[in-house]
Amino acid sequence: MKLAVDAVVFSVNDARLRILLIKRKNQPFIGRYALPGGFVEQDEGLDIAVIRELTEETGVKDIFLKQLKTYGDVGRDPRGRVISVAYLALISWEHKLKASSDALRAEWFDIGKIPSLAFDHKTIIDDALVQLRLEIQTTNISCQILPQKFTLTQMQHLYESILERKLDKRNFRKKLRELDILKETREAFMDGAHRPAMLYEFRNKAYSDIKDKVHVMLK
Amino acid sequence: MKLAVDAVVFSVNDARLRILLIKRKNQPFIGRYALPGGFVEQDEGLDIAVIRELTEETGVKDIFLKQLKTYGDVGRDPRGRVISVAYLALISWEHKLKASSDALRAEWFDIGKIPSLAFDHKTIIDDALVQLRLEIQTTNISCQILPQKFTLTQMQHLYESILERKLDKRNFRKKLRELDILKETREAFMDGAHRPAMLYEFRNKAYSDIKDKVHVMLK
DNA sequence: ACAAAAGTGTTCGATATACACCCATGT
DNA sequence: ACATGGGTGTATATCGAACACTTTTGT
């Protein structure tokens, strides 16, 4: 019986939610894409193992991790009994891939354009998305996936791509004002022939519930 | 490296939330109380393993199970590396303990009067309570812990003992009416020198989100 | 008659939702 | 001047919270 960890790594770029996948270079499922992950060592904690694997395989550092669920079906790995502890992982597009040795196999996919995957990894991603949808509505978890400084439109697009629905700009901003979790920087962000946008940052980047209440970010 | 499952089994009786614990009869922690559970067999799924262990140790059948979290700290078991997948388990007081051979060691404790526990089981219970508090506010999970037929006051007491706060009777009942998840039986329940209470049952005992929305049951 | 829990509606404040126009910039 | 996305407020509807008295039974 072997114990593995796998990470569903999300990031956002260009208003689209992205997921990190690895092209397998060993059997089984050689050539197929899979979640980054690997076996846990004998004297290694689970969280440590995920961090190690992500660093090895993707060069990514500074990752927010949250344990998701453990997958232990008997037939899930053709090599034999492998139990995998899945993690939800979030990083900002800023500090993705410093292209370590092994990292070449890591590729970002648009959520919704995910290729056929090895093992039960599609199921794991589906579960991760459900969890992410819950968390983004009830916690300040988006601070883990947005860049340090961001515009409110970027943030709204992140919410929209995770929730898969349009939100109302004025209501979204009003809610953010009430929550008082952001602060203005005095910097503007320009990316086209239009009025520059104010850049914001989180007052507190520690993961926490919003308003210590079940709470919904709305239309 | 060994894989175990442990279950945090909740039930409710006499308006108090109860938890099922086992007195250990082996080292380590001999004589201490612990969560029911045990090692997963080589060709056994996780869910199957929990059901088997619960049946063996407690005689309990017909249990609602939901995977909670996996505990894999290196030092959590003095015998060596043991990873434990924890489950939230709910049963109605009706079909608890048919006293199987091994079941004698199983005892129900009032939540809040939990003795000192083996391993990291106290942490697991704390995590389970957080999860249960979330679920009872957003799903119809209470159908898994209430008896088949129950009074609204019994149900309210269940909510109150899980949420650890008083709820308002009229608001609680109004909300239940709006949710339309219960139906009246035509039976009355009597247990003292007072007006008899109507017995209700769930329209649908399948676990599901309430109103497919994040939703709060209130004061 | 009294004690004890069951049952039942209304009012008020807070929050959710819907919605349209002006602003600053590059070309 | 126009095209593009940035930025802003108000009115209505829905939902949450507070609150007290009558009913039915056993003793």
Residues with CB under 7 A from strand D: A 151-153, 169-171, 173-174, 192-198; B 168-171, 174-175, 190, 192-196, 215-216, 218-219
- Residue A105 has a pLDDT of 79
Q: Inter-axis angle of helices A152-163 and A121-138, to 10 degrees?
A: 130
Q: Report if CB B198 to strand C is under 7 Å.
A: yes
Partner-chain contact B3 A83, CB within 8 Å: yes
Q: Is B134 on the interface with A (CB under 8 A)?
A: yes
CA of A219 to C1' of C17 (A): 7
E strand or H helix at B76: none
Q: Which residues pair with A189 in a beta bridge?
A: A197
- Across the range A188-214, mean pLDDT stands at 87
Facing residue for A85 by CB, picked from B70, B74, B138: B70
pLDDT by residue for chain B (219 residues), tens only, comes to 999 999 999 999 999 999 999 999 998 999 999 999 999 999 999 999 999 999 888 877 789 999 999 999 999 999 999 999 999 999 999 877 665 555 567 899 999 999 999 999 999 999 999 999 999 998 999 999 999 999 999 999 999 999 999 999 999 999 999 999 999 999 999 999 999 999 999 999 999 887 655 555 555
Q: Which amino acid is at B8?
A: V
The Cα B133–Cα B130 span in angstroms is: 5
CA distance A213 to chain B (A): 9
pLDDT beyond 90 at A38: yes
Q: Is the CB of A175 under 7 A from strand C?
A: yes
pLDDT at res. B58: 80
Distance from CA of A43 to the nearest CA of B (A): 6
Place of tokens 């500074």: A62
Q: Rounded to whole angstroms, how far apart are CA atoms A175 and A188?
A: 22
C-alpha span between B68 and B87 (Å, rounded): 5
Query: Which amino acid appears at position A207 of this protein?
Result: Y
Q: Are B206 and B144 in contact (CB under 8 A)?
A: no
Say how far apart CA A25 and CA A89 lie, in whole Å. 23
Confidence at residue B102, expressed as pLDDT on a 0 to 100 scale = 57
Q: Domain coordinates of chain A in residue numbers?
A: 2-138, 141-202
Taking the C-alpha atoms of residue A61 and residue A67, their distance in angstroms, rounded to an integer, is 17
- Count of Cβ atoms closer than 10 Å to residue B184 Cβ: 9
Beta strands at B182-189 and B106-110: parallel, antiparallel or unpaired: unpaired
**Which tokens belong to A94?**
């800023």
Interacting residues of B147 by C-beta distance below 8 A, sequence separation 6+: B92, B93, B94, B154
Show Cβ contacts of residue B15 under 8 Å, excluding neighbours closer than 6 positions. Answer: B154, B157, B158, B160, B161
Q: How are the residues of chain A apportioned to helix, strand and coil, as percentages rounded to the nearest 5?
A: 30, 30, 40
A165 touches strand C (CB under 7 A): no
Asked whether residue A215's C-beta has any atom of DNA/RNA strand C within 7 A, the reply is yes
pLDDT of residue A98: 61
At A157, give phi and psi (nearest 5°). Answer: -60, -35
Answer whether A42 sits within 8 Å of B69, measured CB to CB: no
Q: What is the three-class DSSP state of A197?
A: strand
How many Å lie between the alpha carbon of B104 and the closest alpha carbon of chain A? 30
CATH match for B147-202 among 1.20.58.220, 1.20.1070.10, 1.10.10.10, 3.50.50.60: 1.10.10.10
* Residue A15 contacts B where some CB pair is shorter than 8 Å: no
In this prediction, residues A143-162 reach a mean pLDDT of 96
CB contact under 8 A, A70 and B73: no
Is the Cβ–Cβ distance between A49 and A105 less than 8 Å? Answer: no
Q: How confident is the model over A25-38, as a mean pLDDT?
A: 94
Percent of chain A with pLDDT over 90: 81
Per-residue pLDDT at B157? 97
CB A2 within 8 A of CB A81: yes
b/e code A11-40 from CB counts within 10 Å (16+ = b): bbeeebbbbbbbebeeeebeebbbbbbbeb
Given the DSSP bridges, would you call strands A2-13 and A82-90 parallel, antiparallel or unpaired?
A: parallel
As a rounded value in angstroms, the CA-to-C1' distance for B87 and C19 is 47
pLDDT, chain A, mean? 91
Inter-residue contact A99 to A155 (CB < 8 Å): no
Of A1, A43, A137, the CB nearest to B3: A1
**What single DSSP character describes residue A117?**
B
Q: Residue A212 pLDDT more than 70?
A: no
Burial label, A176 (beta-carbon count in 10 A; 0-12, 13-18, 19+): middle
- What is the rounded CA–CA span in Å between residue B114 and residue A13? 48
B198 with B152: CB under 8 angstroms?
Answer: yes
**Stretch A42-51: mean pLDDT, rounded?**
96
Question: Quick one: how far is CA B116 from the chain centroid?
Answer: 19
pLDDT of residue A153: 97
Q: For domain A2-138, say whether CATH 3.90.79.10 is its number.
A: yes
Distance CA A128, CA A145 (A): 15
Nearest nucleotide to A151, CA against C1' atoms? D6
Mutate to test the interface with A, among B6, B41, B47, B70 (most CBs of A within 10 A): B70
pLDDT score for A91: 94
Q: Rounded to whole angstroms, how far apart are CA atoms B176 and B168?
A: 12
Through-space separation of residue A186 CA and nucleotide D14 C1' in angstroms: 38
Which residues numbered 36-65 in B keep a CB inside 8 Å of some CB on A?
A: 40, 42-46
Fold exhibited by the domain A141-202: Arc Repressor Mutant, subunit A (1.10.10)
User: What pLDDT is stored for residue A62 in this prediction?
Assistant: 82
Helices in chain B by DSSP H: which ranges? Answer: 46-58, 121-138, 152-163, 169-179
Top-confidence residue, A4 or A105: A4
Greater confidence (B94 vs A131) lies with A131
Report chain C positions within 7 A of protein CB atoms.
3-10, 16-20, 23-27
The span from the CA of B205 to the CA of B144, in Å, is 7
Q: What are phi and psi of A13, to 5 degrees?
A: -150, 135
Q: What b-and-e string marks burial along B89-126, b requiring 16 or more CB atoms within 10 Å of the CB?
A: bbbbeeebbeeeeebeebebeebeeeeebbbbbeebbe
Q: Mind listing the pLDDT tens digit for each residue in A75-104?
A: 999 999 999 999 999 999 987 766 555 556
Angle formed by the axes of helices A169-179 and A152-163, nearest 10°: 110
